[in-house]
Chain A
Amino acid sequence: MIDHYDWPGGREAMLRFGPADGPVVVMLLPLFEEANRTRCFAVTLLRLLAARGIGGMLPDLPGQGESEISVEDTSLSFWNDAVSSACEAAGQDRYLATVRSGALLDGEPVAKGCWRFAPQQGDQLLHELGRTARVAAAEGGQPIDLNDIDLPGPPMEIAGNRLPRAMLRDIRLARIGGPAPTRTVRLASDPQPADRHVEGTPLWRRAEPDNDAALAALLATDLADWVQSCEG
């Protein structure tokens, strides 16, 4: 079901799945381009959760997805505000589930727990944005040097997004973490520590959006079991 939530800067769309009473999982996609490549997968996962009786919400962040706000008019603190507002719309028993750099936005104490899939730190995200920008420059785009983010100037265009320099500086410093109980799941190919490693495809690397039904089913079970264990 298509719904919306209000945040201090306006109104954004969100998809809702399953029951609205009982625990509700608010899912945050990765920032920027990776969101396009993981959205279909996230919807599959939330539908599977709904089939197990756990509600789900997939909010658009301001400046992302179908938002009417331009990304150059947003910031990490706006996004944190929007996540808080989306969580309030989810009721008392809410959990955040994040994919990749979405975990950079789960640090505020707004949910009963945070489940993270393949979380990506801010400096890693900036490193990737820099590489993407250099490839685009080599193919005739505007040359961009991420060392310039500390200098005053206009937003930097990376992969079609005009990103304010303050946002890029905030991303460089952003670290995953917060007071809520957490569970981290990573792909078996990822050597970083996690509560669990699972076989699957890094869909966020694919040039075209793709899906991995087996991975979605496995993660839906992991997430549902974790939410139920938190609920006691």
Chain B
Amino acid sequence: MRPEGTIEVEETLRATLRDVLGLSPERVAAFDAATPLFGALPELDSMAVAGLLTELEDRLGILIEDDDIDGETLETFGALTRFATDKALQ
């Protein structure tokens, strides 16, 4: 089932970060909108970003163009959640 609401998208994003970066469920569950991601998580290097975006495409049934992503998209968990929600529910 593809996510159909904002909460489902946020939970999908949490699960994807956990699975792609190998983070513990507890750590990911503690993420809030202000939690910094790119530059703050050593696991999230450029190649991991590529894997994360592709896995989000698969799980959310969306297509992400390189131009869609800018410096702010991956800055915080809140920003990435907004981006994923806009894409998935548009």
Contacts and interface: CB of A to CB of B under 8 A. Distances in A.
Interface stretch (B28-36, B44-52, B70-78, B79-87): B44-52
A18 interface: no
B46 A135 contact: yes
Interface in A55-111: none
Contact of A202 (B20, B45, B47, B49): B20
Contacts of B50: 128, 131-132, 135
Interface string B57-76: 01101000010000000000
Nearest to A131: B50
B48 A131 contact: no
Contacts of B2: 191
Given A127-B54, A132-B47, A135-B46, A205 B19 contact: yes
Interface string B1-22: 1100000000010011001101
Chain A binding site: helix, strand, loop or mixed by DSSP? loop
Contacts of A201: 19
Interface string A13-53: 00000000000000000000000000000000000000000
B37 interface: no
Interface in A125-170: 127-128, 131-132, 134-135, 138-139
A134 B66 contact: yes
Nearest to A207: B48
Interface residues of A, number: 19
B1 A191 contact: yes
B59 to A, nearest CB: 6
A127 B64 CA distance: 11
Interface in A167-206: 189-192, 201-202, 205-206
A138 B46 CA distance: 9
A222 interface: no
B70 to A, nearest CB: 13
B59 A189 contact: yes
Contacts of B49: 135
Nearest to B51: A205
Given A134-B66, A202-B55, A205-B55, A191 B61 contact: yes
Contacts of A208: 22
Contact of A190 (B43, B47, B59): B59
B47 A207 contact: yes
B67 to A, nearest CB: 11
11 contacts: A128-B50, A131-B50, A131-B66, A132-B47, A135-B47, A190-B58, A201-B19, A202-B55, A205-B55, A207-B22, A210-B22
7 closest A-B pairs by CB: A205-B51, A205-B20, A135-B50, A191-B2, A131-B50, A135-B46, A128-B54
